Amino acid sequence: MDAGKAIFETVDKLRQRRTAPLVLELDLTEGLTEGPPSDPLSMVLSMRKPRLSDVLSGLRRARQDSRVKGLVVKIGGSPMGLAMVQDLRQAVTEFRASGKPAVAFAETFGEFGGGTVPYYLATAFERVYLQPSGDVGLTGVAVEQRFVKGTLSKLGVGYEVGQRHEYKTAANTFTQDHMTEAHRESIGRIVESVTESLVAGIAEGRRLDPGKVRELFDRGPFTSAEALEEGLVDELAYRDEVYDEVKRSAGAEAHLLYVTRYAKGAAVRKLPQPMSDGVALVHGHGMIRSGRSGRSPLGGGGAMGSDTISAALRAARRDEQVKAVVFRVDSPGGSYVASDTVWREVTLTRKVKPVIVSMGDVAASGGYFVSMAADVIVAQPGTLTGSIGVYGGKAVLTELFEKIGMNTELVGSGANAGMFSSSRGFSPEQWERINAWLDRIYDDFVGKVAKSRDLTRERAHELARGRVWTGADAQANGLVDELGGLEHALALARGRAGLADDAPVRLYPRLNPLERLRGPDSSEDKSAALARLRVDAWGPLARLSAELGLPATGPLILPSWYVIR
């Protein structure tokens, strides 16, 4: 009898919990992950990180759900890129527009350090709470680059690099001892464009004059008491005080639920019919390389493999229930050949159904190459894109070898057989081949930009030359079509395909467990898009990287220090 009563009470509690009011919660202590895990190691490393697409879809659904009474977000210290933050800000703003309260809590916005971007995120919320011991590191925007040419020269290491053109500065850290005029011009404009976005968002969110916000940038960072006095936060409180207040306002029966759990639970309750039409979402994350996506166990993060992305696009293209494709690109670039492979698949897919590109924090160089053929390119104002250019060369270790008493001899057949050896520089004849290669890549890149973006070649070259643009400036110059995030791109895809506003979104490739186990029958099989853990993930420059202790890169690459956090 007691057991039966216990079971009845448990079932009753579960029933009440399913119908009770909800306060959605998002913990950003560990940040967010951009897309689904690309390999087993990524799956383990991202287990505790919520996925951006789940958060966005959950908040979109919650706007119309009468059970959801509010939102509370803990903003942590883990850095997130500016474009991802702008995606979140947009989702929070739309959630608030439904009349539901949203509050942000932080232990600190930078502990003896900068916290401008996390604080910018917080200003999208109705109320901002700060722990009494915390600070607001509102210090503005800075991009810093270190130049190691002098250090390398002392070691006897030189670099011979060609680039197209003056704004293609990825190798400058090795070839220069200071910023060139073009380099400083490009970085200066990026900093100002980002500052404009931050100032506008903070001013609107905190109801301050933009001039006042710039003045606060100059005076920060602020202690908690100073932040409260300046109107940067609404109240100083600890987590328990904030959460108790939020739950009281939602009602005694309300309980907390993570946004991602809410999104997945709602998706399970409203499973689409097996044959329902929808949108395919393909994620391309990390450095672009030939082969399959994955991650090196030696470090360096994930990589966008051309085989994996191409197979996913082919699968989406051939699926009759997929009426449009959203290609989410978050990549600094990499291999030219691999980028061109993906570009071709985007082009072929666009002939069959609409393709919308949604740019993440970075979609530059090769990341722009794979994006430019889409019907519509959507980027956030803080996205870093463009970098339409190319560079190539090698380190020359001749002097270093002499200093340490090392001698190398090369026996080859053919005048240029050893041209990529790091033990000697390029000959004039070899430089002719390098320059021909650089010119060919640059001409192809610019020509495809001109055709894709409906520009003259002269205008495309003017916008190219290796220059990096923010999404706001790229949109103003015609390299990007619209400003917005992933949800905006999905809405555009649904609209272009004539689908309902709530048409399902499916990650591609979609594989059942059996397909994952048996492997692909051919390169045309959708399971060919499976990623793998690559031990050889250093790429074509593995030998050079091993000699110098540097990561391998491709000729279309943006330095990682460009990302605004």
Query: Which tokens sit at 333?
Result: 């670039």
As a whole number of angstroms, the distance between CA 109 and CA 115 comes to: 5
Query: Which tokens sit at 204?
Result: 């609107």
The pLDDT value recorded for residue 31 is 87
Residue 513 has pLDDT above 70, yes or no: no
Domain boundaries, the chain: 17-139+220-267, 270-557
Residue 540 has pLDDT above 70, yes or no: no
Of residues 146 and 546, more confidently modeled: 146
The band of 466, judged by pLDDT with boundaries at 50, 70 and 90, is very high
What's the whole-number mean pLDDT along residues 285-291?
90
Residues of the chain with pLDDT > 90, as a percent, come to 59
Give phi and psi for 217, each to the nearest 5.
-55, -45
What CATH superfamily is the domain 17-139+220-267?
2-enoyl-CoA Hydratase; Chain A, domain 1 (3.90.226.10)
**Sign of the dihedral defined by the CA atoms of residues 395, 401, 404, 410, in that order:** positive
Which of 50-54, 118-122, 469-473, 530-534 is least confident?
530-534
Of residues 468 and 43, more confidently modeled: 468
Which of 50-59, 159-168, 211-220, 228-237 is least confident?
159-168
Residue 222 has pLDDT above 80, yes or no: yes
Residue 12 has pLDDT above 70, yes or no: no
Q: To which H or E segment does residue 177 belong?
A: none
Q: Per this entry, what is the length of the chain?
A: 565
> In whole numbers, what is the pLDDT of the chain averaged over residues?
85
The pLDDT value recorded for residue 512 is 53
Residue 530 has pLDDT above 70, yes or no: no
The band of 551, judged by pLDDT with boundaries at 50, 70 and 90, is very low
The band of 269, judged by pLDDT with boundaries at 50, 70 and 90, is low
Q: Which of 100, 168, 353, 448 is catalytic?
A: 168
The pLDDT value recorded for residue 549 is 39
Question: Scanning the structure block, which residue is given the tokens 């090795």?
Answer: 174
Note whether 382 and 192 are within 8 A (CB).
no
The pLDDT value recorded for residue 25 is 95
pTM of the model as a whole: 0.87
Of residues 176 and 132, more confidently modeled: 132
Residue 354 has pLDDT above 90, yes or no: yes
| Cα 161 to chain centroid, rounded | 28
User: How would you class 454 by CB atoms within 10 Å of its CB: exposed for 0-12, middle for 13-18, buried for 19 or more?
Assistant: exposed
Which of 9-23, 325-339, 519-533, 543-557 is least confident?
543-557
Show Cβ contacts of residue 556 under 8 Å, excluding neighbours closer than 6 positions: 288, 333, 334, 335, 336, 339, 365, 366, 369, 387, 389, 390, 441, 445
Count CB-CB contacts under 10 A for residue 292. 21
As a whole number of angstroms, the distance between CA 104 and CA 137 comes to: 16
Question: Residue type at 46?
Answer: S
The band of 518, judged by pLDDT with boundaries at 50, 70 and 90, is low
As a whole number of angstroms, the distance between CA 192 and CA 471 comes to: 13
Instruction: Give pLDDT tens digits for 71-95.
Output: 999 998 777 899 999 999 999 999 9
As a whole number of angstroms, the distance between CA 60 and CA 58 comes to: 5
Instruction: Give pLDDT tens digits for 426-465.
Output: 988 988 998 999 999 999 999 999 999 999 999 999 999 9
Matching fold, domains 17-139+220-267 and 270-557: yes
Q: Is 365 one of the catalytic residues?
A: yes
Q: Which of 331, 358, 365, 371 is catalytic?
A: 365
Which CATH class, in words, describes the domain spanning 270-557?
Answer: alpha beta
The pLDDT value recorded for residue 376 is 98
As a whole number of angstroms, the distance between CA 268 and CA 271 comes to: 5
Which of 22-26, 156-160, 531-535 is least confident?
531-535
What's the whole-number mean pLDDT along residues 4-29?
69
Instruction: Give pLDDT tens digits for 397-417.
Output: 888 888 888 888 888 888 888
Instruction: Give pLDDT tens digits for 361-405.
Output: 999 999 999 999 999 999 999 999 999 999 888 888 888 888 888
Residues of the chain with pLDDT > 70, as a percent, come to 81
What's the whole-number mean pLDDT along residues 335-354?
96
Note whether 127 and 234 are within 8 A (CB).
yes
The pLDDT value recorded for residue 535 is 40
The band of 488, judged by pLDDT with boundaries at 50, 70 and 90, is very high
